[in-house]
Amino acid sequence: MIKRSLALAFLLLYLFSTTEFHELLRLPAVFEHFDSHKKETPTISLWEFLCIHYAHGEVQDDDYDNDMKLPFKTHDGCNSQNFVSLIPEQKYSLAKINPSISRKHTHKYQAEFTISIYLNTIWQPPKLC
């Protein structure tokens, strides 16, 4: 139970600090602002209110300052860039290595070595003209 609570706390801490998830904390401002619009225009619905404030761009009206306090109306510049750089441990020696190449048997491509069943399959080697 403690591990689950701790994991949830870390997840919320991450989401609130690196994404726009913190805008949900402004959700009560939506209902307060809707109430003020409801007092001015009693027939306005919640859908109309949301369309006025979110669907028609930024309208410079009398309550523009209150409009900008609504969630997802401004950008706080919440930006997170996480870089993980793993530098591999170098296990190279500087000793000179003399490769010994044996040329005992070399294979050359010859047409008689190809089997006819192999040529009938879909995966054929490139044909040289």
C-alpha span between 60 and 51 (Å, rounded): 15
pTM: 0.49
For residue 9, the model assigns a pLDDT of 93
For residue 18, the model assigns a pLDDT of 78
> In 41-84, where does DSSP find H-type helix?
46-50, 64-67
Tokens describing residue 20? 């726009």
Per-residue pLDDT of the chain (129 residues; tens, 9 = 90+): 889 999 999 998 888 877 778 788 888 888 888 998 899 889 999 999 888 888 877 777 787 878 888 887 776 655 556 677 777 777 666 666 666 666 666 666 665 655 556 556 666 667 766
